[in-house]
């Protein structure tokens, strides 16, 4: 059975993923930036409502994965908090300036997560050498790695994903994520031999606001639309499950 993890940014999105048949969610904030640490309230509510697995991303900001001492301290505190609020797993990743896995920080975050599972996220896709990075993660006891195969989407990286799956040899879970849809997910699974996948399965929701002030915005110059947003689509999740025959 292929395990399907849906990336969500709210408890409502998490419930939509559950209704669609997903086995697990990764709870984030700020998906426009690739996902940052969700609030304590979001974790607590999601845990209370969900029956499926709840992974929580620990990422203090968007941008790169080279963190200051203060940022890393925030990550340590947020990991402990997510654990105390009932997360089933922690998702994080740290690199050094040369594009290698930051072994010491990854070791510390993995230890903090125990006995929960630990996923190294798509910081892996910014590594200098994906094969060495995978061996580093295996040696550190990381449970799984989320990766698009160091390309914009998994469909562009089938060869590397297949190689990583073969290299993993059951020592770590290789979980493709990036550009997966109901139309291509079966192809990715069949081509790579993986047992878990990760996607967002979102659609646009229009605001119910009738009065709309179009002269000002809540974000910066590069901003999402003010009166619409994306959220998890139950039907899209169900379409993925159907495509996989689950």
Give per-residue pLDDT as tens, 34-93.
999 999 999 999 999 999 999 999 999 999 999 999 999 999 999 999 999 999 999 999
pLDDT of 246 > 80? The answer is no
Identify the helix (H) or strand (E) that includes residue 45: helix 40-49
- pLDDT for 177 equals 97
**What are the chain's domains?**
3-244 (3.20.20.380)
- pLDDT for 221 equals 58
pLDDT of 234 > 90? The answer is yes
Is the preceding omega at residue 166 within 30 degrees of 0, hence cis? no
Give per-residue pLDDT as tens, 206-227.
888 888 777 666 666 566 666 7
Six-digit token string for 39:
């609030």
The rounded mean pLDDT for the chain is 94
Q: Is 54 helix (H, G, I), strand (E, B) or coil?
A: strand
Query: Is the pTM above the cut of 0.75?
Result: yes
pLDDT of 196 > 90? The answer is yes
Backbone angles phi, psi at 231, to 5 degrees: -145, 170
- Cα 190 from Cα 240, distance rounded (Å): 14
- pLDDT for 208 equals 84
Give per-residue pLDDT as tens, 160-185.
999 999 999 999 999 999 999 999 99
- Cα 93 to the center of its chain, rounded Å: 11
pLDDT band at 124 (very low <50, low <70, confident <90, very high): very high
């Amino acid at each position: 059975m292929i395990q399907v993890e849906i990336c969500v940014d709210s408890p409502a999105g998490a419930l939509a993923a559950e209704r669609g048949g997903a086995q697990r969610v990764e709870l984030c904030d700020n998906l426009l930036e690739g996902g940052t640490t969700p609030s304590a309230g979001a974790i607590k509510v999601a845990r209370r409502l969900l029956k499926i697995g709840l992974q929580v991303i620990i990422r203090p900001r968007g941008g790169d994965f080279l963190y200051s001492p203060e940022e890393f301290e925030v990550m340590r505190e947020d990991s402990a908090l997510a654990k105390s609020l009932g997360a089933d797993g922690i998702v994080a990743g740290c690199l050094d300036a040369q594009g290698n896995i930051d072994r010491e920080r990854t070791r510390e975050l993995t230890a903090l997560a125990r006995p929960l599972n630990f996923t190294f996220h798509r910081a892996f896709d910014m590594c200098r050498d994906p094969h060495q990075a995978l061996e580093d993660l295996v040696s550190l006891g990381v449970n799984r790695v989320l990766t698009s195969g160091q390309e914009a989407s998994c469909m562009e990286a089938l060869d590397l994903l297949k190689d990583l799956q073969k290299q993993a040899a059951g020592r770590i879970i290789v979980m493709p994520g990036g550009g997966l849809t109901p139309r291509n997910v079966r192809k990715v699974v069949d081509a790579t031999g993986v047992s878990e996948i990760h996607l967002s399965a979102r659609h646009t929701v229009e605001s119910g606001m009738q009065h709309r002030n179009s002269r000002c915005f809540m974000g910066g110059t590069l901003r999402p639309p003010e009166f619409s947003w994306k959220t998890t689509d139950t039907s899209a999740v169900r379409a993925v499950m159907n495509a996989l025959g689950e």
